Amino acid sequence: MGSTVKFARRAGILIIGIPLFTVGIILIPLPGPGLLVCFLALLLLAQEFEWARKHADTARSALTAIYDKAKQRADNFEQKVDKKADSADTKNNKVHRP
């Protein structure tokens, strides 16, 4: 790739990525996908900038850990609900004889 094309690509990514990241920062306290917008901006910037790649990798690791923890909690909750449903079914199916 020529140096002019490479510079134009890098400038384009920077011109789109920085405002997108800024909008994401603004959206964080507001209802909406602020963190997602920031993460997407970092992924865009990571295509051309090493500093953004490092931050994107850190964010990806943190998001993966959060996802894994949430999935584990959801699985545990589902198991508890299933156990309670099974015990309720067992109680309801008992035959009471006078």
Bin 32: left if φ > 0, else alpha if -120 < ψ < 50, else beta.
Answer: left
pLDDT in tens, 36-74: 999 999 999 999 999 999 999 999 999 899 999 999 999
pTM of the model: 0.66
Amino acid letter, 75: D
- Give residue 31's pLDDT: 85
Q: How far apart are CA 98 and CA 92, in angstroms?
A: 16
- Give residue 64's pLDDT: 94
Q: Closest Cα to residue 22, out of 5, 4, 34, 10?
A: 34
Q: What's the mean per-residue pLDDT of the chain?
A: 88
- The SS3 call for residue 48 is coil
